Structure 1
Amino acid sequence: MKILLITPNFFDYPAQICEAIHQMGHEVDWYDDRPSTNSFVKAIIRINKNYINAMIARYFSKMMSEVTRKKYDKVILISGQSLSFSESMMERLKESQIQAEFVLYQWDSMKNFPYIEKIQKYFDRCYSFDKEDVRNGNLRFLPLFYTKRYEKVGRKSISKYKYDLMFVGTAHPKKYKYVKEMAEKLKFVFPKQFIYFFFPSKIVYIYRKVKNIELKYAHCSEFHYTPVNGKEMDKLLTESRCVLDSAQDGQTGLTIRILEAFGAKRKIITTNEDVVNYDFYREENIYIYDGDFNLNAPFFNKPYREVDEGVYKKYSLRSWLNELIGG
């Protein structure tokens, strides 16, 4: 099977997804959903992509000149807020591959990225990681996944951890607020902490600082502008007992960080209340932060509780791809 895959260039996930597709016996061509990973371009797309319409048009034309030489069986778009293609571009892509099944996976909630609803009509199947979007639209629910990288971490036997807790993620305003709050409240119980707030560029940091009250008193030095690579994440998760997580404002779907931590068999502290409705939830493994911590809870007093292998494998990248490709 020939697959055209379009995704954000998010950490090293495109390479891992393509590798998994190859291992399943399929051919795959991958394209970024934006014309450049340059910090300025990434920032402008999030703020107002109309400023770089000419650049987007050139990139899309180049992509089309290449993909129209082939006939694909599947066209899979994994979309977040970085998607730069217009409705007319999506229509052209659809018309160029009329024999293909088009599959959309929404990696962001429609509340945070309402544009995505306008292009759903070009797809034969549409999925979302967010249950609220599935309730309100013609979408199928499909949570995110963990990769073999995190499965390998989960198989390692660790007797001593370098960090009591860690957080690595984009500094969305609410996420920044709650992660800072949780880390501060836990510093006496979990004193060894690794916190890495990421922004794609200083332009985005300045924009967010002006626009969002949660970042009003934040300082530029608190943030990093280079993403943590896969090997670094492996090392951090291996060395950490617990992972902090907080969803974006307006989002109920589980973040990729929760699935990574689950794959790595690490304890998780999250603000996402909906995690109790997932079959892998165990009170020994996952703590839901509601503004305070109960240090008498099983999470703080019992070891990690293994989850049934069938439930564990259900959230693997291969299982996720089986659904997207097979439907």
Structure 2
Amino acid sequence: MEGGCSIKGKKILFLAPSFFGYENKIKDKMEQMGAVVDFYDERSVTKAFDRALLKVLPSMFNKKTSRYYDDILEACKNNKYSYIFVIKCDMLTEEILEKFHVIFPKTIFCLYLYDSVKNIKGVSKKFKYFDRILSFDRQDTLKYPDMKFRPLFYIDEFKKELRTDNKYKYDISFCGTIHSDRFEIIKEVIDICKKMKLSFRNFCYLQSKFIYYFYKITKHEFKYAKKRDFSFFKASSQEISDVVDESRVVLDIQHPKQTGLTMRTIEMIGMNKKLVTTNAEIKEYDFYNSNNILVIDRKNINILDEFLLTKYVPLDANIYEKYSITAWIDDVLYAIE
């Protein structure tokens, strides 16, 4: 953590896609830290079907995006920003970024990636427009010399004291969006829990019923799935925090094409919670402790009795501070002298 940055009194243009309300948490925290923040959705499209198209054909929306950002530039052109802070940058084109640099020549441009470079079509071509680039993916930072490694954060709702009562409503829980092979793994964990006589709580989110029916046709593990197995409405961060608090262990299943740690993983630091994860990369992090974290093979799942029975080992205070949202903002917007 580089730290030492104070954004008090700074004016920030913040451009981020909608991701489970975290964009609002970041904005609110920057304002609590004393910054003046203008926030706009980084994406000109918000419908689930359009977002799905965006992943494969981002250029399809270039004209719409250009008009969208022209309106933003017109509204903001007279503001003197200290930072333009962009998350992901999958819709901002090079042409639009050039316009931003013409209008804001003295502003520091910061980019944060919570997805791997290979999953954001064309993003590496845009790196030249940013003074500061950070990523949650340690492997990406080894490939791109100008990219700084900065894992994600936990928000204030996920900061809780270590429980001492050892009485939990659920032995294992999962809360997250269903993608890739997640549902297949969850089904296997449910079977394991039944055999081990463990309680399992899952909240499986799908962006739309269209995606549910699409998966019914294209994914074998959805053959016997029912609509009632999923929620088509996002859970609030407080609802998820409540489920996690009542869980002995939390299950994390990262996308098979990602090595960066999910938000849920980092939130378990703040919650003082044991974690079962498919992401072996976690062993490279400073908070890894085999007593607290069990890495499983997504192709051969094995949940050990002894891991479930041992208590959580508290981490050093500086680790809790390092992964807080405040420290994350400080690192991303670290002043460039």
Partner of 2:328: 320
Tell me: CA distance 1:127–1:207, structure 2 relative to 1, closer, same or farther (3 Å): farther
Q: Give the partner amino acid of 2:223.
A: Y
State the alpha-carbon separation in 2 of the partners of residues 79 and 115 from structure 1: 11
State the alpha-carbon separation in 2 of the partners of residues 301 and 158 from structure 1: 14
State the alpha-carbon separation in 1 of the partners of residues 97 and 282 from structure 2: 34
Q: Give the partner amino acid of 1:78.
A: I
Range that drifts further, 195-204 or 70-79 = 195-204
Instruction: Show CA shifts across 1:76-118 (max 9, x none).
Output: 11117xx322221222223221111111111101122242112
State the 1:296 CA deviation.
4.8
Tell me: CA distance 1:158–1:63, structure 2 relative to 1, closer, same or farther (3 Å): farther
Q: What secondary structure does 2:181 align onto?
A: helix
Q: Percent identity?
A: 31
Which of residues 57, 65, 70 in structure 1 aligns to 2:74?
65
Q: What secondary structure does 1:29 align onto?
A: strand
Contact 2:193 2:200 in 1 (8 A): no
Which of residues 91, 104, 127 in structure 2 aligns to 1:97?
104
Tell me: CA distance 1:120–1:209, structure 2 relative to 1, closer, same or farther (3 Å): farther
Partner of 1:173: 180
Which of residues 121, 144, 158 in structure 2 aligns to 1:150?
158
Q: What secondary structure does 1:236 align onto?
A: helix
Q: Give the partner amino acid of 2:118.
A: K
Tell me: CA distance 1:251–1:245, structure 2 relative to 1, closer, same or farther (3 Å): same
State the 1:179 CA deviation.
3.0
Instruction: Show CA shifts across 1:167-197 (max 9, x none).
Output: 1112121333333323332333363222222
Partner of 1:126: 133
Partner of 1:228: 235
Q: Give the partner amino acid of 2:314.
A: E
Q: Give the partner amino acid of 2:158.
A: Y
Aligned: 1:140 with 2:112: no
Compute the RMSD of aligned alpha carbons. Answer: 2.3
Tell me: CA distance 1:218–1:271, structure 2 relative to 1, closer, same or farther (3 Å): farther
Aligned: 1:56 with 2:65: yes
Which of residues 239, 244, 251 in structure 1 aligns to 2:246?
239
Q: Which segments of 5 or more consecutive residues in structure 1 lack a partner in the other structure?
A: none
Q: What secondary structure does 1:91 align onto?
A: helix
State the alpha-carbon separation in 2 of the partners of residues 206 and 118 from structure 1: 36
Partner of 1:301: 309
Tell me: CA distance 1:174–1:154, structure 2 relative to 1, closer, same or farther (3 Å): farther
Tell me: CA distance 1:220–1:93, structure 2 relative to 1, closer, same or farther (3 Å): farther
Q: What secondary structure does 2:157 align onto?
A: helix
Instruction: Show CA shifts across 1:241-300 (max 9, x none).
Output: 211111112211110010112211111100001111211111221111122325254x22
Aligned length: 322
Tell me: CA distance 1:296–1:240, structure 2 relative to 1, closer, same or farther (3 Å): closer
Aligned: 1:27 with 2:36: yes
TM-score, structure 1 length as denominator? 0.89
Range that drifts further, 61-70 or 119-128 = 61-70
Partner of 1:8: 17
State the 1:156 CA deviation.
5.9
State the alpha-carbon separation in 2 of the partners of residues 105 and 214 from structure 1: 35
State the alpha-carbon separation in 1 of the partners of residues 329 and 82 from structure 2: 15
TM-score, structure 2 length as denominator? 0.87
Q: What secondary structure does 1:262 align onto?
A: helix
Which of residues 265, 269, 272 in structure 1 aligns to 2:276?
269
Tell me: CA distance 1:220–1:111, structure 2 relative to 1, closer, same or farther (3 Å): farther
Tell me: CA distance 1:209–1:253, structure 2 relative to 1, closer, same or farther (3 Å): farther
Contact 2:248 2:274 in 1 (8 A): yes
Which of residues 223, 236, 239 in structure 2 aligns to 1:217?
223
State the alpha-carbon separation in 2 of the partners of residues 313 and 325 from structure 1: 17
Q: What secondary structure does 2:57 align onto?
A: helix
Contact 2:55 2:121 in 1 (8 A): no
Instruction: Show CA shifts across 1:294-318 (max 9, x none).
Output: 5254x22311111111122111111
Q: Which segments of 5 or more consecutive residues in structure 2 lack a partner in the other structure?
A: 1-9
Tell me: CA distance 1:177–1:111, structure 2 relative to 1, closer, same or farther (3 Å): farther
Instruction: Show CA shifts across 1:133-181 (max 9, x none).
Output: 1111131111111111100x34566542222211111212133333332
Aligned: 1:283 with 2:290: yes
Q: Which has the higher contact order (CA 8 A, sep 6+)?
A: 2
